[in-house]
Every structure is written in C-alpha cells, then in structure tokens.
Amino acid sequence: MAALRGPARRLLPGGLAGLGLPPRRYRYKKKWAVTAPKISATRLALQNFDMNYRMQFGSLWPSIRVSLLSEQKYGALVNNFSDADRVSRELELLNAVDFVYESQKAARHVQWDSPVEGMRGEETAPQETHREQMTVEQTQTPSSLSTSISPNIKCYTFSKGDVSRFPPARPDALGTLGYYLLDAASLLPVLALNVQPGDLVLDLCAAPGGKTLALLQTGCCRHLAANDVSASRSNRLRRVLCSYFPKDISALVRITSWDGRNWGELEGNTYNRVLVDVPCTTDRHSVTEEDNNIFSRMRLKERQLLPMLQLQLLLAGLLAARPGGEVVYSTCSLSQLQNEYVVERAVEVAETEYNISVCVEDLSYFRRLFQDTFSFFADCRLGELVLPHLTANFGPMYFCKLRREQ
C-alpha cells in the first residue's frame, strides 16, 4: 500500500476504500487518554455531595459546603500522662478553653425549662414501620449530664469565630508530648461511650489513634483492645502511643490488625464498651485532598460497598459487647446512607439473625451540653450529627449510642 502513490492511488475505486479502508477524511483514531475529560477526585466528590446533600439538608447545604472547603478547626487533647497542669496553663494563655469542663460546669448550674427531648420516633411519618418503631430511650436528666460522659478528658478549643491555631506540641524532658491536635468533634463519640472504671474496651477501627488516645485519658480502661485491619495504620498507631504514654500504660493496650468484621466470632460477649468508628467517605478530606481520596475512579467499587462494610463492622461490635454493654457507632460523613440507615439496619439484623435486642439511646442532651462549641443538626433521626460551620468549623461527625439488652 505504501507503494501506491500519485496516479496509481487514484486508480483504486474510492481511494483507499478499495483496500478496505475509509477515505482519510473519515478516518479517526480515538485518543481517549488525551481527549477524555479528566475530573479530579475532589471535584467528583463535590459534585456527588451537591447532588445528595442539597436534598438532605436543603437551605443548610450552602453553609455546610463552604465550611467543608474552608480551613478546619482543631482542638488540643491534653495528655494526662504528661505535666497536664503545665500544659493546661500554656493552652489557657492562648485564650483557649477546655470545652468539656466548661460544658459540665454549665450543666451543673443551669436549670433547663423543659426535659430532654423524648423519642425520635414521634417525628416520623404517621404510617409506622418497623424502623419507625425503633426504641430510642430517654436516659438523661439535666442533673445527671455531668456524670453521663467519659471522665477525665480535657480538650482545649478556641471560642466560636476564633480561627486561631494551636502550635505543635513539644516533648517534655521524658520525651512525652503534652497534647494531641485533632478535630474536637471526634471526641464526642468517646465522651458518649461513658467509660467507667474497670471497663473492658474495644476500639474496633482504631487508627490513626486520636480516639484511642482519648479512651486512655479516662484512666478507666482495665484493658483496651485497639484494632485496625491495616498493618501500616496499626504501626502508625503504635508510634502515636509511644509518643504519649509510658511503657507501663502501653502494656494495657493490645494492638491488632485483624478483620474487624470477624470480631464477634473471635471475642464475642466480652466487652463493656465498644467504639466502632468505621471507614467512611471522610467528607472533608474528600473535597480538599486528592491523596488517598475514596472518590478516585479506581476506588469506585470500594465506595459503593462502604455501607455494607459499615453494617458488618457495627454488627461485629454488637456481638463483641457483653449483654448490657454499650456500643458507639461513628463516622465523619454527612451521609444518611452511612449513618442512620446503617444503625437501623444493624438493629434489625441483630434481632432477626442473632436474636439480640438492641436499644438506641437518646443523645439529644449532647446538643444542649456542647451547643457553645459545636453546630448540631437538629433533625437527625437517630444519634447526633455535628455540622461544619464557619464559626465552629469542626466535623462532620456522626455518632450514635446503642445498648445491647440483657
């Protein structure tokens, strides 16, 4: 064919069509790698959130959206195994306040006019279903609020509207760091777990370690099992613990890298308290960071299977809890599909497949207790949801407390 030039080429009917090829003007080689539009993972995440969260939150979504895209606010979790008094004084010199202490102090002095909100089931549609009949117990009164959260946790934050940042923690003479910087809203699941002295505690998805640190700050854990399925993340957890705790305290912690979905078979009916902080879409990270973004095209199937994974992990946590034990489920996502729907389904499956009765506890008192620090979503059917807000740019953080019945 290369030899056909000039007049010889014109002798063929239809040009090169005589060789089975279309004329050059009709030929097109699709260069998909160059011509196909490339959408970043962060842009894809934002498009997904715009479509779903606009329907879920309505007029609140524009404010949540701009907050997600703005700089996150942090809290400083004081390490009680360092010189905690000195660390607290230094943080107070920065005009930061211990939001846990201040909230408890307010609860002891303020008499609320109305009792804590009752059953969330009353807010559902008139036609009841099994999900709508789910029990949400009202267990707290104003006089008991200061004792209904995990003790000894100190976390300093700047007041609403103050966008100051904490400096990095410095090691003391023994090499122990004085505080840990984290999203202060991530402490709420730990506070809701209400760890008591002598409790056996399981942190089913422990890495990177902020909630594990907070659990140990309570000084109540007789033993803490900290698990993460990723060996690399478990190693990171070990390094974090070594930076904050002496060796004798670290001996109270057992770090494993097992598949948390199987924990009910490994250590069923064992723990007084279980924290299930599941993998999720990590909404803030998804709209701001390309690295390790679950909205990347290669992780599409993983993202689609997230609710099933979350359900399996929560069921494993319920099976690992002993009768009468308490489980807190949490995510850093705004998605109902990953939050309330997972809790509802887990309660149903626990009863129908494992003959376990589970009660969802009312945490609405958290909204009143911590309203000066966080912005809560008032219409969450089960559990509580912290919304990002420019004046208090923590979260998102969803948490729900369940109790396995005797």
Residues serving a catalytic function are: 332
Whose tokens are 């399925």? That residue is 229
Side-chain-side CA neighbours of residue 253 (13 Å): 29
Using CA atoms, how far residue 375 sits from 61, 86, 354, 367, 389, in Å, is 13, 30, 37, 8, 7
**Is 394 within 8 Å of 183 (Cβ atoms)?**
yes
CA pair distance 319, 204, nearest whole angstrom: 12
List, in order, residues 6 or more apart from 147 with CB less than 8 Å away: none
Using CA atoms, how far residue 94 sits from 81, 82, 83, 232, 393, in Å, is 22, 19, 17, 35, 19
CA pair distance 338, 10, nearest whole angstrom: 66
| Tokens coding 65 | 């959206």
